[in-house]
Amino acid sequence: MCSIGEDDFGDEGAVHAMVAESLPSGIVLRPGDCNKCGLTSSELYKLNFRTEECRDCFLAYARHKFRAALGAAKILPRNAEVLLVLDGSAESLVLLDMLHFAQTQNTFKRLHCNARVLYVEDQQVQERVPIDMDAIKTLSTQYTPFEFYVIELGALPSSLQRIKEYSPSPKETNELLKKLGSLRSLTARQDFLQQQRKNLVASVAEKLQCSHVFEPSISVDLATQLLIAIALGRGGSAALDVALLDDRLAGDIKLLRPLKDLNEQEIQFYIHAQRLKTLLQSGSRYGQERGQTASLQNLTTAFVANLQKNYASTVSTVFRTGDKIAVNAHPEQAFCIQCQSALDSEISDTLLAIEYSRSVSEAGVGLYKNGDDLEDLAKRRLDAQDGLCHACRGIQAELESGNLL
């Protein structure tokens, strides 16, 4: 278990200007006594299932969750090289601030790792107002000594630039945009884009010799991702989509989700307490502006958001269920060349049954003497899928021309 107590933290860290706006529900702007430390505070924070507490006590509580997630599992080696993925969202800024705070403590309390920050510029594929690069550069100044890097989505790792030296490439259609345009459904485009982003981050981490990647996913994100994975046919790897540790990235890169135990209310409270200014508004991900029914991902996101609003504790139950889902893999297990998940064609009786039914429909039972012939044909068809898992084969089928890779 993590040995860091909630009272071990001070009140340092980067503080930024924030535009005045309505306060998150649960923040009380009145003088009162903190139920944790007993001191009088001008601003109290009331989390669900917790008594009112002052700003210092709340920050200590939230930062302890971050440290406990890493400390309890003991999966981050001492002096590890870490790449933090920054996208401008509230969650990514909270993760950046927490990691910076943990890095600036004294020797005993310090989180001993070397961190770099990566911003993936995706304006060419997004349909929203672009994030101001000057704001990213300002963050790089405020969060020294972290090194900030930027790379454009769809570009080669060799095009990686330091944020202070960044200059956008000419606006031309790259290979990623061509493939996105060839995919018929928004569901396939969102799934493909997610896999491409993850592969790009892994390539950058390998180039920078980082062994671990920090992803800013919180509980509601993981609950959504679990249901999306199942809906898309990625049930065999759904556990890794929501686990603290995901070891599927190329180059033996380990992806960690140290904010997985935080909820939306805690994120909003932290943003307010540290006066952070988010650069990316919620609901501005690729394709979300097209409505709830435009894709499976949009529909699932809306469902979980409604669940979070009316039955908040259920969301935690949903994503924690993912930790209990596992697949019996073997050392010789083959992996998908697109998403690096285990090939489900070798372990799924359901996929074999689907292919069996397709073989019967296309070839006709009369052409074969018995069911064993049809089963052999189904197995051969599953094996001849170019090294793609079931979900990635679905994306391949959506392509009007060409291949995924």
Q: What is the pLDDT of residue 379?
A: 64
- State the pLDDT confidence band at 390, using cuts at 50, 70 and 90: confident
Q: Among candidates 146, 144, 142, 133, which has minimal Cα distance to 83?
A: 146
**Residue 299 belongs to a domain:** yes
CA–CA dist 384, 323 (Å, integer): 31
Query: What one-character-per-residue DSSP string does 182-234 give?
Result: HB-SHHHHHHHHHHHHHHHHHHHHHHTT-SEEE----HHHHHHHHHHHHHTT-
Q: Which long-range contacts (CB under 8 A, 24 or more apart) does 192-199 make?
A: 192/395, 192/404, 193/125, 193/153, 193/286, 195/338, 195/339, 195/392, 196/153, 196/154, 197/120, 197/122, 197/153, 198/249, 198/255, 198/339, 199/249, 199/250
Q: Are 368 and 374 in contact (CB under 8 A)?
A: yes
Do 205 and 290 lie in one domain? The reply is yes
Task: Out of 156-170, 191-205, 288-302, pick the least confident.
Answer: 156-170
Q: Provide the pLDDT for residue 345.
A: 62
Q: How confident is the model at residue 28 (pLDDT cuts 50, 70, 90)?
A: confident
Question: What is the predicted pLDDT for the residue at 33?
Answer: 92
Residue 276 CA, chain-centre distance (Å), reads: 20
Comparing 8-22, 50-64, 132-146, 244-258, the range with the smallest average pLDDT is 8-22
Tokens 């003497």 sit at which residue? 369
> In this structure, are residues 148 and 139 in contact, taking their beta carbons and an 8 Å threshold?
yes
Q: Is residue 58 part of a domain?
A: no
Task: Tell whether 216 and 82 lie within a shared domain.
Answer: yes
Tell me: do 208 and 312 sit in the same domain.
Answer: yes
| Structure tokens given for 113 | 């790792």
What sign for the dihedral angle of Cα 386, 389, 390, 394? negative
Which CATH number characterizes residue 140's domain?
3.40.50.620
Alpha carbons 45 and 24: distance in angstroms, whole number: 10
Give the total number of structural domains in the chain.
2
Least confident of 96-100, 163-167, 267-271, 366-370: 366-370
> H/E element holding 300?
helix 296-310
- Angle at alpha carbon of residue 9, lines to 8 and 12, rounded to 5°: 155
Could you tell me if residue 36 is inside a domain? no
Asked whether residue 373 is assigned to any structural domain, the reply reads: yes
Percent of all residues in the chain with a pLDDT value above 70, rounded to a whole number: 77
**Mean pLDDT over residues 96-104, rounded?**
92
- Does 282 have pLDDT greater than 80? no
Domain around 172: 72-324
Q: What distance in Å separates the CA atoms of residue 54 and residue 49, rounded to the nearest whole number?
A: 15
Q: Are residues 181 and 253 in the same domain?
A: yes
Is-cis flag, bond preceding 24, omega within 30? no
Q: Beta strand 147-152 with 161-162: parallel, antiparallel or unpaired?
A: antiparallel
> Which of 29-43, 201-215, 239-253 shows the highest mean pLDDT?
201-215
Residue 369: pLDDT over 60 = no
Residues 299 and 181 placed together within one structural domain of the fold = yes
pLDDT band at 54 (very low <50, low <70, confident <90, very high): very high
- 311: its two tokens: 């039955």
Residue 301, pLDDT > 80, answer yes
Judge whether 221 lies within some domain.
yes
- Given 324, 354, 380, which residue is the final one in a domain? 324
The residue-averaged pLDDT of 33-44 equals 90
Asked whether residue 373 falls in the same domain as residue 297, the answer is no
Residue 8 within a domain: no
**Whether residue 381 sits in one domain with residue 296:** no
Specify the 3-state DSSP secondary structure of 245. Answer: strand
Together in a domain, 251 and 384: no
Kindly state whether residues 313 and 356 are assigned to the same domain. Answer: no
- Kindly state the greatest CA–CA separation across the chain: 84
Residues 171 and 226 in one domain: yes
Q: Residue 146 above 80 pLDDT?
A: yes
Domain shared by 351 and 238, yes or no: no
User: How far from the centroid of its chain's Cα atoms is residue 2's Cα?
Assistant: 24
Asked if the structure places residue 378 within a domain, the reply is yes
Question: Could you tell me if 213 and 255 are in contact, meaning their C-beta atoms sit under 8 angstroms apart?
Answer: yes
Does position 375 have pLDDT exceeding 50, yes or no? yes
Average of per-residue pLDDT values in the chain: 81
**pLDDT over threshold 80, residue 218:** yes
pLDDT higher than threshold 60 for residue 367:
no
In a domain, 134, yes or no: yes
Of 205-209, 287-291, 355-359, 366-370, which has the strongest mean pLDDT? 205-209
Q: Tens of pLDDT along 307-325?
A: 888 887 788 888 888 777 7
- The average pLDDT across 64-78 equals 86
DSSP letter string, 258-271: TTTT--HHHHHHHH
What pLDDT is attached to residue 1? 39
pLDDT at 17: 34
pLDDT band, residue 20 (cuts 50/70/90): very low
Is residue 313 exposed (0-12), middle (13-18) or buried (19+ Cβ within 10 Å)? exposed
User: Do 83 and 204 fall within a single domain?
Assistant: yes
This prediction has a pTM of 0.84
